[in-house]
Amino acid sequence: MTVISFIGAGSVEFTRDLVADLLRFPDLGDVELRLHDIDDTRLRTAEGVARSIATQLGAAPTIVATADRRAALDGADFVVNIVQIGGLAATRTDFAVPAKYGLRQTIADTLGVGGIFRALRTFPFLSALAKDITELCPEALLLNYTNPMAMNIWYLSRVAPQVRAYGLCHSVYWTVVGLCEVMGVPYEEVDYHSAGVNHQAWLLSMERAGQDLYPLLDAKIDADPELRRRVRVDMYRRLGYYPTETSEHSSEYVPWYLKDPGEISRLRIPVDAYVAISEENVATFELTRDIVAAGGQVTIESGATEYAPQVIHSVVTGTPRRIQVNVPNTGLITNLPTGAGVEVPATVDRSGVHPWHVGDLPVQCAALNRSFLNVGELTVQAAVTQDARMIRQAAMVDPNAAATLTVDRIWALCDDLVTAHGDLLEPWTVR
């Protein structure tokens, strides 16, 4: 029997989609789904969702719901991490405190002060999870969805290199799907190559039947003024390679846009977008909770697009696949720092996950990635050494914060965020 543990299963939308994609593989054989969450209501809702999906798909997995993380991990073959430490309240804090300083953010889960403090809330949990995995299921693959992805993978490689951790994100897939719609080209006919860092990787090539599709994309952009009013398109036209995360995300990883109201208007940047998204997620959970409590069936999305089920299926059945994966940089991208969390293509088969060697990125792309990774490196190092000053130094080198605030205000902002997050952060974060 294949045992799959979902840690943070109360993230019901993720659990729904991942379980549905898993159960669409009849050749997986006997499967035990272990659902873990510390919130009983969310845990019971996740259990109801899993049972509803299994019934609708005609599958018969063993489903276990437990508030005991160690019980969920004991003997697991795969561990899927979808935890968000602090939930909606912490997200609101990550936006509200910087806003008082005039610092604009859009998503705040990957870079910037929001990404830094999300990492600081998450690292202690990752350390504890890695310790449990090492003891209870040392051969398991840890498939991480939790952001900030690059920082989390980098941190795990520092504190628990023995854990077989891989970061999974669907941003590259959905970027190519979206571009195919723009170009009027079937996704299934497109070959592409992407590498960089999570949420700031680059489409290094994009072809159909051996023909470069970038000229077609250029023609579509030239013909549509509204397409040009997006951050990613603006970056692509200046840098020559299309970035693989949304314009909302991309806007806060660089110093050029959010500091300027004119650019916000020109490029239609939705400041504070993630607060509304998070509130919608809570509303979706509450609706799902009520449906499950009433004995109704949850709606199953069309799927087979998430990477974790594909990884599990490939390892269990030996079916070869190619995906994107986040791993420590062991010379995979030769002009990015060694050890950094990078996103590269990978092959998956019965023997595991095999990241590809990429070589050098285009120099302009690598330059932006290094600015991104500078923030991550300082945040990881701050946690490993428990150096509170390094938290502030990480914020100092963040492109968006540095373009907007003086260093005194950056340090004061970090002090205020430490206070506002309170017990969600470790005592050493206080300066």
pLDDT digits (tens, 9 = 90+) for 197-252: 999 999 999 999 999 999 999 999 999 999 999 999 999 999 999 999 999 999 99
Residue whose tokens read 């030769």? 334
- Is residue 379 scored above 70 in pLDDT? yes
**Whether the Cβ atoms of residue 170 and residue 339 lie closer than 8 Å to each other:** no
Active site residue 354: no
**Whether the Cβ atoms of residue 51 and residue 63 lie closer than 8 Å to each other:** yes
Per-residue model confidence (pLDDT) at position 354 = 98
**Which amino acid would we find at residue 230?**
R
Q: What distance in Å separates the CA atoms of residue 374 and residue 398, rounded to the nearest whole number?
A: 8
36 carries a ligand binding annotation: no
pTM of the model: 0.96
Name the residue with higher pLDDT: 293 or 415. 415
pLDDT band at 13 (very low <50, low <70, confident <90, very high): confident
- Is residue 304 scored above 70 in pLDDT? no
Per-residue model confidence (pLDDT) at position 302 = 67
Strand 200-208 vs strand 211-212: parallel, antiparallel, or unpaired? antiparallel
369 carries a ligand binding annotation: no
Q: What distance in Å separates the CA atoms of residue 308 and residue 156, rounded to the nearest whole number?
A: 18
CATH code linked to domain 2-167: 3.40.50.720
Catalytic residue among 170, 354, 357, 421: 170
Q: What distance in Å separates the CA atoms of residue 392 and residue 407, rounded to the nearest whole number?
A: 9
Per-residue model confidence (pLDDT) at position 300 = 87
User: What pLDDT digit, counting tens, does each position of 46-104 carry?
Assistant: 999 999 999 999 999 999 999 999 999 999 999 999 999 999 999 999 999 999 999 99
Per-residue model confidence (pLDDT) at position 431 = 85
User: What pLDDT digit, counting tens, does each position of 129-180 carry?
Assistant: 999 999 999 999 999 999 999 999 999 999 999 999 999 999 999 999 999 9
Closest CA to 155 of 428, 386, 376, 398: 376
pLDDT band at 14 (very low <50, low <70, confident <90, very high): confident
- Across the range 13-36, mean pLDDT stands at 94
Per-residue model confidence (pLDDT) at position 299 = 87
Query: 163-173: buried (b, 16+ CB within 10 Å) or exposed (e) per residue?
Result: bebbbbbebbb
Average pLDDT, the chain: 96
- For residue 353, the cross-strand partners are 348
- For residue 348, the cross-strand partners are 321, 353
**Whether the Cβ atoms of residue 169 and residue 324 lie closer than 8 Å to each other:** yes
